[in-house]
Amino acid sequence: MALLADGVSRLLIDGKLTSGGAGRFATINPATEEVLGEAANADAADMDRAIAAARRAFDETDWSTNTELRVRCVRQLRDAMLEHVEELRELTIADVGAPRMLTAGAQLEGPINDLSFAADTAENYEWTQDLGLASPMGIPTRRSVVREAVGVVGAITPWNFPHQINLAKLGPALAAGNTVVLKPAPDTPWVAAVLSELIAQNTDIPPGVVNIVTSTDHALGAMLAKDPRVDLVSFTGSTATGRSVMADAAATIKKVFLELGGKSAFLVLDDADLSAACSVAGFSVCLHAGQGCAITTRLVVPRARYDEAVAIAAATMGSIKPGDPSKPGTICGPVISARQRDRVQGYLDLAIAEGGTFACGGGRPADQPAGFFIEPTVIAGLTNDARVAREEIFGPVLTVIPHDGDDDAVRIANDSPYGLSGTVYGADAERAAGVAARLRAGTVNVNGGVWYSADMPFGGYKQSGNGREMGVAGFEEYLETKAIATAAN
Question: In whole angstroms, what is the distance from residue 469 CA to residue 462 CA?
Answer: 16
Q: What is the pLDDT of residue 1?
A: 64
Residue 489 has pLDDT above 90, yes or no: no
How does residue 19 score in pLDDT terms, banded at 50, 70 and 90?
Answer: very high
- The letter for the amino acid at 385 is D
Task: With residue 81 as reference, give the H or E element that holds it.
Answer: helix 67-83
Q: Do 316 and 410 form a contact (C-beta atoms < 8 A)?
A: no
Residue 439 has pLDDT above 80, yes or no: yes
pTM above 0.85, yes or no: yes
Reported as a single tens digit per residue, the pLDDT across 454-468 is: 999 999 999 999 999
**Cα–Cα–Cα angle for 149, 151, 153, rounded to 5 degrees:** 110
Q: 60 — alpha (psi -120 to 50), left (phi > 0) or beta?
A: alpha
Segment 408-413 shows an average pLDDT of 98
Sort 62 into a burial class: Cβ within 10 Å, 0-12 / 13-18 / 19+. Answer: exposed
| Domains along the sequence of the chain with CATH | 2-261+464-486 (3.40.605.10), 265-446 (3.40.309.10)
Percent of the chain with pLDDT over 90: 99
How does residue 185 score in pLDDT terms, banded at 50, 70 and 90?
Answer: very high
Half-sphere exposure of 179 (CA within 13 A, CB side): 29
Residue 97 has pLDDT above 90, yes or no: yes
Residue 239 has pLDDT above 90, yes or no: yes
Residue 2 has pLDDT above 90, yes or no: no
Alpha helices in 231-298 (DSSP H): 239-250, 274-286
- The letter for the amino acid at 384 is N
Query: What does the mean pLDDT of the chain come to?
Result: 97
Residue among 38, 109, 197, 259 flagged as catalytic: 259
Segment 65-88 shows an average pLDDT of 98
86 is catalytic: no
Reported as a single tens digit per residue, the pLDDT across 120-164 is: 999 999 999 999 999 999 999 999 999 999 999 999 999 999 999
Residue 420 has pLDDT above 80, yes or no: yes
Reported as a single tens digit per residue, the pLDDT across 27-37 is: 999 999 999 99
Distance of CA 428 to the CA centre of its chain: 32
DSSP 107-166: TTHHHHHHHHHHHHHHHH---EEEEEEE-GGG--EEEEEEEEE--EEEEE--SSSHHHHH
Percent of the chain with pLDDT over 70: 100
Segment 42-57 shows an average pLDDT of 98
